[in-house]
Amino acid sequence: MKVNYKSLEEKISFIPFGSQYYRPPTPPMREWEEDFKRFRILGFNTAKIWIQWRWVEPKEGSYLYSDFDRLFDLAEQYQIKIVVNTILCCVPEWVYAKYPDCRIKDINRHIVWESGYRAMQVGGWRCCWDHPEAAKLSLRFLKKLVIRYKNRQSLLAWDVWNEASLGFCSCDNTHKVFTQWLKTNFGSIGKVNEFLGRRYVTFDEIPLPSSEDDINYPLMYLTYDFRTDRLKEQIKWRVQIVKEIDPDTPVMTHTGSPLHIRDSDNWKNAKVVDFYGTSIHQWSNIYLNPERASIWTNFPLCLDSLFAISPYNWVSELAAGSAHYGLTSLKHVHFILPEDIRMRTWTCIAHGTKGLLYWQFKPERLGPEAPGWGLINLDGSSTSRAHEAKEAATFVNQWKDFLLNARPPEAQVGILWDPKISYVCLMAGVHLDTNLYLDAIRGAYQALWWRDMPCRIVTPEDEWDGLSAICLPFPIHLHDNVAEKITSFVKEGGLILSEGGLGSYDARVRYSSMIPPGELSQVFGIVETETAEWQKKEVDFTTKVVIGKLRENHKCKGSSFIHKIKAQTAEPIATFPDGSGALFKNSYGKGWAYYLATHPCIYAARKWDLSTNELIGAILCLNCDERLPRLKEKDGMINMRILEKDSEKMLFVFNHENVPKRITILTDAEHKVKVLRGENPEVKNGEIKGVVGGINLSVYYLC
């Protein structure tokens, strides 16, 4: 079903840039025309709207479309494209009256009553789509909607699920579907029992867990896998309905977070849509926060993950104004500064996103989200945030031919993201620290970010071709096929850096009898000798050899666990204060395997520890070529991103510090340099020497 990259660019031959606009019932219709004029003034070409089931079909079979008809008319008059976000989650009352058993039952078997979720001022909450009749009714609504608007000239795309995820449901219908899923995946009760370590007689006896930390890890694990499969399936139903009626308009969905855990696997979901988007709400401002570095790296990590999910992608929601949670929680308001809009918007552009929509144009005025989000003021007057957005929109429109076809350079280093590790973390760490895995991923990512080293987020299913090194952050769960893939990657000349505890839980979620398991102990040349103990404090370690450009005696920190290790063929190249090995290096086949006896990725992510960052980056880049263009040296929070189209390049240099910084970019001398943003640099002997303003960026075009 997936449309290939090329044909999407042909279908959407511009960069959609604009904002979420209408989420009934706000803003009121009387303001729309003036607002669409303001869209044009800002250079915005696209508006996203929410079409909510219970708003349109409050009574079965009677559809109220007049507001949306008017909105489409105005969009056509002002040449604004419309993205329809279909919201089936707010189920009308009459559906519940007709089928009371379609209500969700939470994990504790309690019925979830519709009460109006914070984001849905029209009330309602989703029903269980495993209820066949309720599912049919929602798809019938979707069908009617697509028939009504498919021929509107302003229609740009169908976004079939807002922040797609499925909460837990333990109703009888879901249990029936789960049982069928088990039959399909295991074939016999014997095989399920072997996986679960139980002695069920029939499939029907196997329950859905009744608590998030069910004592049977394998059962909870299967439940996570089932839920993510089920979500993909239900997205597919919607896509099929839309495609049957309107085969020409692209169909997408967007996630709340690319590295989502628990109930959504974005890599699975992306297989059933034309392309993928994300919300990227970083609620707090970065530039008033002294911890800015460690908070900031979440943002580019989201964008690189989104690129891995869907090379053609959109940022579907970027916070345009402060987040509010009603007046009583004003102290929790997070201000969004113009600088936040500037640095976030341009970072999205620099990552090659093909569309960007703010959330939202005007401040909300109904419900707990009021008066949040607005890019402009309630009276229609502009803001300095809107001024930043206008500048970026103008640039994107002007450079659309380049940006549409440009891509980031090929990465040489990968970071393994395995959603199944997050399942195990949720279970095994549920009372401890549920963000260990995400922090470990972020720690590995920021080590590369700090070196401006492009990185690819890879999954066990992806091809790992073209990569010279892969990092395995917090790799506590491992399937045999991933172990084989790691082994042959190193054998063929690749470099692997693994944190400790590799494969602690095996494919059946049992604790492994040997860590690392099987052939991997030869790959790394070590074996763990004792069960690792949870550490509340960080732990120091020091390198004993030169690693890349790092001298010996480099001081680093790890956290969370210390793994006692016996070296077999590996050489200990860093030690803890007691002299025991903290980092091991082993040669295997044509490649190298590095094993850490603790978790510096987690530590570095939480503390923005540059020294630890540097060690992770130095190891991962040992096999990498230094490619041009690149920054000659790093002077603080300076970061460069590149977009390429054939021989043309666009360089985005970001200065996250609040004072101007001098930068030197090394290029190969044949390029002509044009300044697209920022001050004119000095260009000589293949070097671009310039100044980038505080909390600002410069853009250079090389051709």
Is residue 592 within 8 Å of residue 574, measured between CB atoms? no
| Closest approach of Zn ion to the CB of residue 171, in Å | 3
CA distances from 463 to 44, 57, 414, 455, 459 (A): 38, 46, 11, 14, 8
Cβ proximity to Zn ion: between 131 and 254 the closer is: 131
Spell out, one character per residue from 151 to 170, where the chain touches Zn ion: x when CB under 5 A holds, - when not: ------------------x-
Is residue 89 within 8 Å of residue 113, measured between CB atoms? no
Q: For Zn ion, which residue of 130, 369, 388, 499 counts as binding (CB under 5 A)? A: 130
| Closest approach of Zn ion to the CB of residue 97, in Å | 18
Is residue 504 within 8 Å of residue 566, measured between CB atoms? no
Cβ proximity to Zn ion: between 109 and 632 the closer is: 109
Q: What is the DSSP track for 467-524?
A: -SEEEESS--B--HHHHHHHHHHHHTT-EEEE-SSTTSB-TTSPBPSSSS-TTHHHHH
| Closest approach of Zn ion to the CB of residue 140, in Å | 19
Residue 215 has which token pair?
């004592």
**Cα 102 to the chain's mean position, in Å?**
31
Short-list 156, 276, 130, CA closest to 138: 130
| Closest approach of Zn ion to the CB of residue 210, in Å | 14
Q: Which residues contact 162 (CB under 8 A, 6 or more apart)?
A: 50, 85, 87, 89, 254
**Cα 423 to the chain's mean position, in Å?**
17
Q: Which residues contact 559 (CB under 8 A, 6 or more apart)?
A: 535, 537, 538, 539, 598, 599, 600, 602, 603, 606
Cβ proximity to Zn ion: between 133 and 633 the closer is: 133
Cβ proximity to Zn ion: between 126 and 292 the closer is: 126
DSSP state of 56: H
Instruction: Determine if 174 is a binding residue for Zn ion (CB under 5 A).
Output: yes
Instruction: Determine if 171 is a binding residue for Zn ion (CB under 5 A).
Output: yes
Q: Tokens 């079979």, residue?
A: 61
Is residue 88 within 8 Å of residue 122, measured between CB atoms? no
Cβ proximity to Zn ion: between 171 and 336 the closer is: 171
Stretch that binds Zn ion, among 21-29, 122-130, 350-358, 601-609 (CB under 5 A): 122-130
| Closest approach of Zn ion to the CB of residue 181, in Å | 13
Residues in contact with Zn ion, counted by CB under 5 A, come to a total of 5
Spell out, one character per residue from 202 to 231, where the chain touches Zn ion: x when CB under 5 A holds, - when not: ------------------------------
Cβ proximity to Zn ion: between 28 and 132 the closer is: 132
Cβ proximity to Zn ion: between 174 and 282 the closer is: 174
Stretch that binds Zn ion, among 5-13, 128-136, 610-618, 667-675 (CB under 5 A): 128-136
Cβ proximity to Zn ion: between 174 and 305 the closer is: 174
Which region, left, alpha or beta, applies to residue 56 given φ > 0 means left and ψ of -120 to 50 means alpha?
alpha
What count of other Cβ atoms lies within 10 Å of the Cβ of residue 682?
9
Cβ proximity to Zn ion: between 171 and 495 the closer is: 171
Stretch that binds Zn ion, among 18-26, 126-134, 340-348, 442-450 (CB under 5 A): 126-134
| Closest approach of Zn ion to the CB of residue 214, in Å | 17
- Cβ density class 523-545: b for 16+ within 10 Å, e for less: bbbbbbeeebeeeeebbebebbe
| Closest approach of Zn ion to the CB of residue 112, in Å | 10
Is residue 90 within 8 Å of residue 127, measured between CB atoms? no
Q: What is the DSSP track for 420-440?
A: HHHHHHHHHTTTT-TTHHHHH
Q: Segment 593-622, which members bind Zn ion (CB under 5 A)?
A: none
| Closest approach of Zn ion to the CB of residue 127, in Å | 8
Short-list 505, 340, 305, 495, CA closest to 420: 505
| Closest approach of Zn ion to the CB of residue 503, in Å | 34
| Closest approach of Zn ion to the CB of residue 169, in Å | 3
Cβ proximity to Zn ion: between 128 and 596 the closer is: 128
* Residues across the chain: 703
| Closest approach of Zn ion to the CB of residue 91, in Å | 13
Cβ proximity to Zn ion: between 174 and 234 the closer is: 174
Instruction: Determine if 129 is a binding residue for Zn ion (CB under 5 A).
Output: no
Residues at the contact surface with Zn ion, assessed by CB under 5 A = 128, 130, 169, 171, 174
